[in-house]
Structure 1
Amino acid sequence: MSQEPDPAPALPTHHASAMRGRDPHEHHRVATPLELLFDLTFVIAFGVAGSQLAHLLAEGHYAAGLAGFGFAMFAVCWAWVNFSWFASAFDTDDWIYRLTTMLQMAGVLILSLGLPQMFESIDKGAHVDNGIMVLGYVVMRVAMIFQWLRAARHAPRCRPACLSYVTAISIAQIGWIALIFIDMPLFPTFVCVVLLTLIELLGPVVAERKNGGTPWHAHHIAERYGLLAIITLGEGVVGTVASISAIVAAQGWSLDAILICVAGTGLTFSMWWLYFLLPSAEILHHFRNRAFLWGYGHMLIFASIAATGAGLHVAAYYIEHKAHISAAAAVSTVAIPVGIYMLLIFAHYVYLLQRMEAFYLGLLAGAAGLLVLPVLAAAAGVSMTICLALLMLAPLVPVIGYEAKGHSYGDAALTRALGSQG
C-alpha cells in the first residue's frame, strides 16, 4: 500500500506581523542569521577604534588615545546592546524589522567612519569632532525609536516599558545632536558626555524595573554576548598577524615569528576559554534582576578585549621601529588590558554566583605575577617576542586552575544559587 509523502515544509515568508513579544521561556532559542549579519558591522567599528588607539599609544599619547577609545567603545557597544536586547524580546523577522535593522547597520558604518576624526580632535586638544559619529548614532537611534514605538503599539502589556525606552533615547539623542553644533572645550564636552551617558544607562533600568519590563530571553541574550566577545577577540588575531608581518618583513620567517604566532594565538584562545567559564545563561534565566550589572559590565569586557588587540598592534609598531615608546611601555599596552579583562571576568563570575572563593584569588595573584614579569623583562632588555610569549601564560593560570580544581567550587555555588531560588 503506497504511503503519502510527508508534505514539504513551507518556505519562509517575511510578511508584516504584529510585534507582540517573544516567549522568554522559548526552547532552543538561538541567534538568527540577521543578528549575525548585524554583528559583522561591529567588526569594522572595533577594528577602526583599535587601530586609532594603537596609533596614539605608539606615539605615547596615552590620555588622548584612552579618552577617544572610551568614547568610541561606549557608542559602539551601547548601540549593539540596545539592538540585541530589543531583538531578544521582540524580533519578528518580518520585512519591516529586517529593513529597520539594515538602517541600523548603515548607522554603525557611518559611526565607524567618524572615529578617526574624533580621535584626532581629542589628540589635538581643541574640541571633539564627533559630527560624523553622532550622525551614525542618530541613524541607529532613530531606527531604534521606531522599533520601540512599533512594539508599544502591538504589545499593550509592554507599552509602559517600551515608551520609557523611547523617552530616554529621545532625550539623549537631542543632547548628542546638540553637541555637534555647540563648540565647547574638552572638559565641558566631557561633562556633557557623562550626563548623556547616564541618561542612556538609566533608561533601561526604569523601563525594566519600574515599568513592567520586556520579555527578553536569558539563554538567547547570553549567546548574543558570547558571539560579540568572539568577534571582539578577532582583534587579537588581527594584532597577532600585524606583529608576525612586522617580523617577517624585517628578517623573514624565524623563531621570533613563530613565538609571536604562538603567543598571540595562545593569548586570544585562553581569553576565549576564560570568557565561556561564566555561567551566564543559567543564572540570568533564574535571576533576571542580575542582568543590568552583567550587561553593562560587558561593555568594559568588550573594551578590554579590543584594547588587547590594539596592544598587539603597538607591539608590531615597536618591532617595526615605528613606536616612540619604550619596550616596557609597549608590553604594558598588552598586559594592562589583559589584566583588566581577567579581573572583569572574575568579578562577573563572583557576581553571578554570589560566592567568593580564596582559591580564585590565588589564581588571580598568580596571573598578576605573570603580567608584571614580561613588563619587567622588557625593561631589562629582553626581546619583545619573549616578553609576549611570557605574557601569554597569564590567562592560562585561571584557565588551568579552574579546569583542575576550580570547577568544583563553581558547581557547588551554582547548585546553591539555583537551590536558593527554588
Structure 2
Amino acid sequence: MNARPVTSRGGGRLRRLPLPTIADGTSRVTTFELFFDLVYVFAFTQVSRLMAETHSAVGVAQALIVLSLMWWTWVGFSWISNSASADQPFLRTVMSAAMIAVFVAALTIPEAYEDLAGGWSGPLVFACAYAAVRIIHVGLYAVVGWRSPALLRQLGIFMVAMIPAVALVVTGALVGGVMQVWLWLIAIVYDVAATRVGSALGQGWRLPSAEHWAERHGLVVILALGESIVAIGVGVAQEPIDLPIVVGSALSVVVSVLLWWSYFARLAVAGEEALLARDEKKRALLGSDAYSYAHFVIIAGIIVTALGIEDAMKHIADAEPFGWFGAAALGGGIATFALGTIVFAVLIGQRRFVMRAVEAGVVLLSIPLLAAVPPLAALAIAVTLMAVVALVETRLHRGGAHRA
C-alpha cells in the first residue's frame, strides 16, 4: 500500500512522515486491530461489573447506555481500518493514543454514574476520555481521506452529529444524577440517528473490503462471547470445586456455544456474501445498518446473557429460586441476541429466521419459570430451549437447501 510522504524540517534534518492512503479492498484484519480491540474486551467486562454491582433494572439500563457509547467509539475505528491498513505506522501511532483514551474510559465505567470518594470525578473522566476518542477518530479519518472530497464532506456532516453528542455527554457528567442518565441517553440516540440521516444525505462513506468488515465484526462477537465464558469463572472463583459447579459450568459453556453457533454457523458467511454482492456505495449502507447498528443488539444480548450466567453461577448450589433479576438477565439476554440476529438476517437478505423469533418469544415467556426454579435448573432450561431451537432450525435449513 502506498503512502504520501510529507516532508518537514526539524532539528536541521529532513524527515519523511508517511500518511495513510485508502486501502485496496483486499485486506483482512491485522494483528494490531486485534490488539486494539483488547481494550474493548476490558470495557465489556467493566460493563458487566457495573450491571452486577447495581443488581437492578435501572443499573442494567445505565450500563447499556455506557456500552452503547463505547460501542460507537469502536464502530468509528472499524470504519477507518477498513479504509486504510492499520499496519501503517501513522495509523498504529494514532490508534495507540486512542487505545489509551478507551482504556481510561473503560477503567472509569464502574463509577460512570456514582463517583467514588477521593481522586478525580469518575463521570467527568469517563466523559473526557470518551470525547478524546471521538476527536482522535475524526482527526484520523480526515487524514485517511485527505484525497477524497466525498469522504471529507461526509466527515463534515458527521461532525454535526458528533459535536452536540459529545457536549451532552460532558454536560451530563458535570450535572450528575438522573439528568446525567437522560442526557447520555439523548446523546447516543441523537448521535446514532443523526449519523444515519447524514450518511444517507452525504453518501460519502465507503467500505473497500467486504471481507475485512465481516471478519472484524465476527471477531468482536467472539470477544463478547469471551465475556460470557469469563462470567462462568467469576461466579465461582472463590468456591471449592464440586458437582454443581461442574454441571453449571458445563451448561453455561453450552449456552455460549449455542450463541456462537447462532451467529457463525448461520449468518456470518451470509453477511460477508451480501457485502461482496454490492458495490462500495451500497456496501457502505449495508455495512452501517447490518453491522454498525444491528450488531450492537447482538453484543448487548451477549453481555446481558453473561450477567445472567454470572448470577446463576454465584448461587449454583442453592436450592432457593433463581430470582427475577438473574432470570430476566439470562432470558432477556438470549432473547435480545436472537432479535439482533433476526434484524441482521433481514438486512442481509436471509429469510429463514422464524425459529429465532420463536426462540426470543419462548425464552421471554419462560422468565417466570426461570425465576421460580433453582439457578442450576434455570441454566438447564435455557440450554434445553436453545438446543431445541437449534435442532429445528438446522432441519428447516437442510430442508430448504434440498428444495433449492
2:334 to 331, 338, 347: 338
> In the TM superposition, what is the alpha-carbon distance from 1:170 to its structure 2 partner?
3.6
Kindly tell me the number of residue pairs found equivalent between the two proteins: 375
Distance change (3 Å), C-alpha of 1:134 and 1:171: same
In structure 2, the residue matched to 1:12 is none
* Cα offsets for 1:370-414 (capped at 9, x unmatched): 6645741651xx4321221221123223332333232554798xx
Cα distance in structure 2, aligned partners of 1:411 and 1:349: 20
In structure 2, the residue matched to 1:253 is 242
Distance change (3 Å), C-alpha of 1:167 and 1:151: farther
Distance change (3 Å), C-alpha of 1:201 and 1:148: farther
Query: RMSD in angstroms over aligned alpha carbons?
Result: 3.0
1:44 to 42, 54, 71: 42
SS in 2 for 1:153: coil
Cα distance in structure 2, aligned partners of 1:150 and 1:166: 15
In structure 2, the residue matched to 1:291 is 287
State yes or no: 1:163 paired with 2:150.
Answer: no
TM-score after normalising by structure 1: 0.79
- The residue correspondences of 1:96-135 to structure 2 (distance < 5 A) are 96-120=90-114, 130-135=123-128
Cα distance in structure 1, aligned partners of 2:401 and 2:153: 38
1:282 to 273, 278, 284: 273
* Cα offsets for 1:201-223 (capped at 9, x unmatched): 42365246524322442221111
Moved more, 101-110 or 87-96: 87-96
In 1, are the aligned partners of 2:342 and 2:356 still within 8 Å (CA)?
no
1:236 to 225, 228, 245: 228
SS in 2 for 1:17: strand
In 1, are the aligned partners of 2:30 and 2:86 still within 8 Å (CA)?
no
Distance change (3 Å), C-alpha of 1:136 and 1:48: same
Instruction: Give 4+ residue runs of structure 1 displaced > 6 Å after superposition.
Output: none
What letter matches 1:330 in structure 2? G
SS in 2 for 1:353: coil
* Cα offsets for 1:130-166 (capped at 9, x unmatched): 2121122122112112202212424345332233334
> In the TM superposition, what is the alpha-carbon distance from 1:316 to its structure 2 partner?
3.1
Cα distance in structure 2, aligned partners of 1:198 and 1:49: 22
> In the TM superposition, what is the alpha-carbon distance from 1:176 to its structure 2 partner?
2.9
In structure 2, the residue matched to 1:10 is none
Moved more, 288-297 or 222-231: 288-297
- The residue correspondences of 1:50-199 to structure 2 (distance < 5 A) are 50-57=48-55, 61-63=56-58, 65-91=59-85, 93-120=87-114, 130-156=123-149, 158-181=151-174, 183=175, 185-187=177-179, 190-191=182-183, 193-195=185-187, 197-199=189-191
Larger RCO (CA under 8 A, 6+ residues apart): 1
Structure 1 stretches of 5 or more lacking a match? 1-14, 123-127, 416-422
2:369 to 368, 376, 382: 376
In 2, are the aligned partners of 1:307 and 1:337 still within 8 Å (CA)?
yes
In 2, are the aligned partners of 1:151 and 1:159 still within 8 Å (CA)?
no
Cα distance in structure 1, aligned partners of 2:210 and 2:364: 34
Moved more, 68-77 or 36-45: 68-77
SS in 1 for 2:393: helix
Structure 2 stretches of 5 or more lacking a match? 1-15
In structure 2, the residue matched to 1:263 is 251
In 2, are the aligned partners of 1:52 and 1:119 still within 8 Å (CA)?
no
State yes or no: 1:20 paired with 2:16.
Answer: no
In structure 2, the residue matched to 1:316 is 313
What letter matches 1:32 in structure 2? T
Distance change (3 Å), C-alpha of 1:363 and 1:137: closer
